[in-house]
Amino acid sequence: MPVTDTSVWNTLAPRNMELGPRSGSANILTDWRIIKGDDDIVWLILDRSDESTNTLSEAVLAELDTALDDISGMGAKGLVIRSAKKNGFVAGADIRDFRGVTAQEEQEVEKRMTRAHEIVDRLAALDIPTVAVIHGHCLGGGLELALACRYRLAISDAKLGFPEVLLGLHPGLGGTFRLTSLIDPVEAMTMMLTGRTVHAKKAKSLGLVDTVIEERHVENAVRAAVSGNVKTRRGSLKSGVFGFQPARQIAARQMRAQAEKHAPQQHYPAPYRLIDLWEEHGGDARAMQKAEIKSFSQLLVGDTAQNLIRVFFLREKLKGAAKGESGIRHVHVIGAGTMGGDIAAWCAARGLSVSLSDLDRNAMAGAIGRAAEFYGKKLHSGIERRDALDRLMPDFEQSGIAKADLIIEAIAEKADIKRRVFEAIAPKMKKNALLATNTSSIPLETLRENLPFADRLVGLHFFNPVAKMELVEIVAHDQASRSTLDRARAFCGAISKLPATVKSAPGFLVNRALTPYLVEAFVMLDEGTAKETIDRAATDFGMPMGPIELADRVGLDICLEVARMLKESLGGAMPEIPAWLAQKVEAGETGRKAGTGLYDYDDKGRPKKASDTAAPSPEMADRLILPMLNTCVACLREGIVEDADMLDGAMIFATGFAPFRGGPIHYARTRGAEDIVATLKRFEQQYGLRFAPDEGWKNLA
């Protein structure tokens, strides 16, 4: 008989973390605590009160200043900075401090940043060895704090980076000049320009950290560092070369060209400001610091940063709805096509047990192959890849139906086929299991007929490609129970997706808003506009890809199905679907997956685009985007989603709607509802009824 039912490791795991001397007097402040050991090494531990994650707020920095006062009189031989939070060192600045800053406050921001710099400079100037012990996330301001220490010791799970650029900013607490002078400046700039994080091992090879250690060696490694016995690799040949302005000029030119490919300057100024900073001041720390403060403050009060910060909080809002315990450990997916297979692969990668079934055994095998390929790219170790594949079982006997806590149906978009499957599996399901459909168009009211437990039916509408699109529409209907919806949302949280609860109405939110945009593009195509020109109009506006390419990506067959269904239920508000769309679908030219659709595709799935097409006219973007906004306003009025923020979040995380514009409704508000209504009215006269402004615009003024 076993001695115990508890997990031995779970019991012992808390002992693993080294947080300095266990005895000795501790000086406990609000967010920091100071402990000095017998060896005269002082441990400064960050443990923000009432927060699960450490971030740097103004208050945290002010308290660091106090702590440094205290330490100066302690006769310390060395100083260690470490986080007591399990999930990491410091996740970055406390973005709440940055929210809602207006252009008028630029001077004020500059002052606050200057003060923050003084505190970090004080740490950097200490004459005793300072050691940052880094585990988990060490991002943005957190990394800047670590860079101000003499040594950085990384635990093997550490991830370091400067994601500021994703918020329309660049590092602002000394990162620009400290990183470029510590490591190869080109590597430093690449880290800051892409926002990519690096793992401990890579950080070591870059020279960003001095050594990578295991948690159990922290104490010994700290002692070695304090006595100067940790090897450091400082200053590369390249940093010497880039001390010369002409060398920086050449590199900067290349960086600008690279940046333009991913983030056009007109929409995303931050990368260009960062490149300017380095080009002008690289090699002169003091000048670069001053310029960094100024440039950061300017960016922070700008529209792009404020809108991207808004997007950050929209994500937090959506995440907030995904909290709680789903009770879902095992997911069974029916249908091993692109969506079903990819949903299954994603869930297994996120740690769930997954069974996948399909009538076609080869389709199941193919889905496993695709999953293995995906894991090969996205999972970091062979262990993770093996475990994810072990959790993903091709289910030849459909055993998963009786064991799953959640069954996701992802088969053909035919109501009667789906209903038949539901009927067959319903009696075999576990008592509390949820039944979810990935339908993109069929109302749940139709699917729940004959289902003995309509309260446990819910729509879980994933978007293609599953791995990239963060949003999942949680489709509610009037018989779905509260607990079903809560569990469905919590499930999204467990698999790192963002849930947006929508009503079971035709097209739900995202497809309904997207379809007028796509079909308008088809109309423009029929008017003789080149597809490249149409796509360009949308990407110039800030969409990640144009409507023609998107239609190919989604699949013309699916577009047709959704468009037909919406035309049927919404009538005049939708443009006529061109006859050629059905013909193309029938001919099998369904888009990217078929190798040909509206564009032709190369082996790597890239569209072949002509380069000599005309530039879009200024009106084109409005013709594409305004129908989408008009539909969003209608959805808001009809209560398809809870509120405007939820809608903005959903559109951004499902379609990539120009994030720097803060979402469709936010964009409409910023531009002014009157202006949009006037434009829509003009279009209505010119192009037809489908542009008639929704009555909901009144509520938006």
Q: Least separation, in Å, of the C-beta of 261 and other proteins?
A: 33
**Of these residues, 164, 279, 409, 561, which one is catalytic?**
164
CB of 494 to other proteins, least distance (A): 17
Examine residue 427 and say whether the peptide bond preceding it is cis (omega within 30 degrees of 0): no
d(CA 657, CA 263): 14
Least distance (Å) between residue 375 CB and other proteins = 9
Shortest spacing between CB 244 and other proteins, in angstroms: 42
Active-site annotation holds for 589 = no
Give the three-class secondary structure for 44. Answer: strand
CA pair distance 695, 676, nearest whole angstrom: 13
Q: Which is nearer to other proteins, 70 or 387 (CB)?
A: 387
d(Cα 426, Cα 420) in Å, to the nearest integer?
10
CA distance 459 to 436: 5
Cα-based distances in Å from 699 to 634, 635, 673:
11, 12, 9
Residues that bind other proteins (CB under 8 A): 2, 7-9, 353, 355, 361-362, 364-370, 372, 386-387, 389-391, 393-397, 399-400, 402-403
* List 18, 63, 144, 549, catalytic entry: 144
Q: 629, 693 in Cβ contact below 8 A?
A: no
CB of 685 to other proteins, least distance (A): 55
Q: Report CA Rg, the chain.
A: 28
CB 180, min distance to other proteins, A: 41
Strand partners, 334: 357, 409
Say how far apart CA 628 and CA 513 lie, in whole Å.
5
Q: What b/e sequence results for 477-494 when a residue is b if at least 16 CB atoms lie within 10 Å of its CB, and e otherwise? A: beebeeebbbbbbbbbbb
Taking the alpha carbons of 138, 141, 144, 148 in that order, is the dihedral positive or negative? negative
d(CA 285, CA 377): 38
Active site residue 473: no
| CB < 8 Å & 24+ apart, contacts of 661-666 | 661/307, 661/542, 662/306, 662/307, 662/308, 662/310, 662/311, 663/310, 663/311, 663/314, 664/513, 664/628, 664/629, 664/632, 665/629, 665/632, 665/633, 665/636, 665/700, 666/307, 666/310
Cβ 387 to other proteins, closest distance in Å? 8
CA distance 551 to 446: 27
Dihedral-angle region of residue 211 (phi above 0 means left; psi in -120 to 50 means alpha; beta otherwise): beta
Least distance in Å: CB of 366 to other proteins? Answer: 5
Q: What are phi and psi of 625, to 5 degrees?
A: -80, -40
State which residue, 7 or 229, has the beta carbon closest to other proteins.
Answer: 7
CA max distance for the chain: 83
Pick the closest to residue 128 from 271, 228, 261, 246 (CA basis).
228
DSSP bridge pairs for 390: none
State the catalytic residues: 144, 164
